[in-house]
Structure 1
Amino acid sequence: MGLFKEDQNIDVEDLYLMWIAQGMISYENIRDKDTTLMEVAALYLGRKLPKGITNLVHLRRLALRRCQFDKLPSSIRNLVYMDTLDLCGSMNVGVPNVFKEMLRIKHLSFPYYDKEKIGNFRVRLDVGVAELESLIEFNSKVHESKCVDRMKNLRHFEAHIYDNESLSAIIDAIVIMDKLVFCWVEISMGCELGTNERVLEKAFTCPNLHELWINVKLGKALPECGSDFMIAILLEKILLEI
């Protein structure tokens, strides 16, 4: 880790390329010739974040895309200057509840969580969320929705919603987010739209919601299209799997 400066951005793929360039990983040690050096590097890194990274207290950006870690250590709270944590493309990585101590976080991309493997795992988004400009892979099974209305600076928001309470809270928050450039919401199994027609109508007419995926049966929950304008909104916004 000594090759990286404290205030330098580190992408996990840069680490892999450095190891390959230094000869630490080569085809001589690969039995399966269909395996790439990058895939071997990912296995070499293991399932834990190297301890040295959390000592780089001035680190600004940490990208761990498609990583295979079981969880991140609670010591990432040491990275108090970090403004970007990117776990895009990763699966079921445990993220510790440390964001109330990381007040400079502006860009947060969570891993995708398999609903069958989540268990009771929860992530609190506390005081630090006020400065967020992007929040990717928000998941109502894992993340608290009551904090979303405090995210006044969000420009990019993507969320998976699995229950009616979270759906109402998220849609109400999106309505007042006037800085949003892109907003994507997926309504998934667990939401009962037949008992939540009003919030669905609000979602269809919300100018801040750019893409809406509905992966539950609508039944009679679809609001009546009273005008050509409403029909145009529905055609542009909705990708239905009925």
Structure 2
Amino acid sequence: MRDRRTSHDPFEATKYARGRAPVTGDGTVAGYKIYANPQEFIRLPAARRSAGPGVWDVMSGVRGGACEGGAVTQPELAQTLWATAGLVESGGRTHAVPAPASGLEIYVLSGRVRDLSTGSYHYEPRGHALEQLSTDDPRPGLTGALFDQGDLDPYAAALVVTGVPARWRTAYGSRTHRLLTLEAGAAVQAAALAAEALGLTSRLVANFFDDEVASLLRLDPVAEPALAVVLLGR
């Protein structure tokens, strides 16, 4: 039988047990990333918070995989971003968060979004806005960074979900990355549901070269690793 005390299994290394549980208390750091000098600050159309298809219909119809091509509109992107990581009236997020404050950031790689220039953007949830980081076409770099994904040309945009471990490390220690991936999964599911409700298609990508995705967004892959990529199309 394997000795759990010497196991290198990541879940064994991050599990809680009586006698070695973390100190209780909120040690999280509330944080929102803001770029001091974005190339452009774009207010997004307000997100709809009522009407639309029923949740069971949406859940049973979520589509993944190939799309037919065509542009996504700015209101559709705005609605998807709000559903993925936006704020609700209580101040919380639209997705489930396993801590008092979110540990995620969301970026947009735009290829064919109407009324939005090609380039890279950071989503600022408090203002429901995009901060433009670059006007370079991100599609060639993204295609190279994702592997075994086939033709990405039909997709109009990609959302990149990143985590900021420093926000949670004091409170959760070695469990931090495990919780970040849990929150990323909740955000990705919200994105997929929103895309389906809007008549779009989404595709989750977890296989990518981490440093290359970080380079696209000019991020430190240790301080803010990419956790997931969601392709959006029509």
State TM-score, norm by structure 2.
0.23
